[in-house]
Amino acid sequence: MEQEGVWLGALRKPVKWAMYVSLAVLAASYLWVIFADLALGWNIGMQEMLRPDGNLSAYLILWSFFCSVLFSSFYLSDNIGVIEPRPDGFFDWFSLILGRVGMIAIVFVVLVMIYEVVARYVFEKPTLWANELSLWVAGFTFLLAGLYAMQQRSHIRIYIIYDILPRWAQKTSDIISVFLIWCFTIALVWGGYNEASAKLLRWEKFGTAWDPPLPATLKTGILVIISLVAIQALSNLIADWNKAPEHHSPADEIDDVEIENIRSTLGEKN
């Protein structure tokens, strides 16, 4: 039975099929590259993926990979987890989609590292790119996790004083918090823009054998995503403005669903 979507509505099924098609094209492209390498002697490796230079097979894999991640993120963001609050801010869906990209990236990094371990210790043919690709993707995963955590309101907060304040004082505290986030963001962008733009314009690379553009992309990514975090903080402030005051206790940290799953698991073992 098809799970009811949260925000895609009538687009849920087309997005789902677009995800399946892009994944199928990606798998077929990968199999074609393996066949071309073994049977035709074409050398299409990670160097060609990083610098396609007119290589149609490399372009096909890259575009199908991009579309797979894009449509998968859209589709997965339409399914809200049990412990995820229902998005209600003007920026929530964008952050949720990027959060799903970060989740997919974690799986991707794990697969890359598994590939490297097998290649290195089983076939004694270590790669030149696995470590750098993992660093590259993990860097963006860390940044996207911060945006997702802001959307989920899951950053560490201390409520001892906040809970005893009247609602108007809580709102004032929220305004001050968002104001400080924006001050930090503006200062970071102001101080890092020239360096980031210089690295991006000259497409600064890592200086290794595979030589990915880590400095150019990550430095720019920091400024872009921290700006998105600030926008998400403002979205949270607006969305929570008219909500009833919340009171927190240690019991809030207890995940009833997780406890029930543990009980079910222990019951099955017994």
pTM, 2 dp: 0.87
Query: 256 lies in a domain?
Result: no
* pLDDT score at 202: 94
Both tokens of 17, joined, read 């099929």
Q: Please count the structural domains in the chain.
A: 1
Rounded Cα gap, residues 203 and 206, in angstroms: 10
Q: Give the pLDDT mean for 102-113.
A: 95
Q: What domain range is 1 assigned to?
A: 1-79
Residue 257 lies in a domain: no
Give yes or no for residue 165 having a pLDDT over 90: no
- Residue 115 forms part of a structural domain: no
Residue 259: CB partners within 8 Å, gap ≥ 6? none
In a domain, 146, yes or no: no
Q: Where does residue 251 rank: exposed (0-12), middle (13-18), buried (19+ CB within 10 A)? A: exposed
Contacts of 43 (CB under 8 A, 6+ apart): 37
Per-residue DSSP letter, 4: P
Instruction: Report the amino acid identity of residue 127.
Output: T
Quick one: pLDDT band at residue 1, thresholds 50, 70, 90? Answer: very low
> Residue 203's pLDDT is what?
93
What is d(CA 125, CA 31) in angstroms, rounded to the nearest whole number? 20
The Cα–Cα gap between 78 and 7 comes to: 6
pLDDT of 142 over the 70 cut: yes
Average pLDDT of the chain to the nearest whole number: 89
265 domain-assigned = no
Q: Is residue 5 part of a domain?
A: yes
End-to-end CA distance of the chain: 32
Does residue 269 carry a pLDDT above 70? Answer: no
